[in-house]
Amino acid sequence: MRFLSKGLSIFVVLALFAIPATAQDMQPEPVDVDLSDEEMEAVAHAYVDLQQLEAQYREEFADLQDPEEAQQVQQQFQQEVEDTVTERGITLELYDQAIQATQTDAELRDELLALIEEVQEERGIEMDMQGGGGQ
């Protein structure tokens, strides 16, 4: 079952760092985004928050058998994603643009990865950068 909304493909967003930087076949269109230091920090914190949220819901989704219940859980997840990002002081659009930009901007990707690792360290979280996570 796929749990992706039309406007927000969070699982794709969380898998950002799993995409090989050398993939030549399907180069994404460059996204130009100019982020302040505060916005970069917010994106890094939101990314870590969303990794944890996705891990929590992945377990919940795995146990669901009823399609109606699955749809309710999906809607709840999508609302929590939106709340999580906006609580960091950025919009979903800015978060999505920042993540998309890292696919074509190696400097931005490296900077964001470093910030994400700092956030994980601060929180005492060990996570792989493949979109999964745990404590």
- Dihedral sign for Cα atoms in the order 116, 79, 34, 13: positive
**What pLDDT, in 10s, does the model give residues 60-118?**
888 888 889 989 999 999 999 999 999 999 999 999 999 999 999 999 999 999 999 99
Cα-based distances in Å from 129 to 1, 31, 32, 101, 124: 23, 21, 23, 17, 15
Q: How many CB atoms lie within 10 A of CB 106?
A: 10
In 3D space, the residue among 17, 35, 41 whose CA is nearest the CA of residue 118 turns out to be 41
Beta strand ranges found along the chain (DSSP E) = none
**What pLDDT, in 10s, does the model give residues 115-128?**
999 999 999 987 55
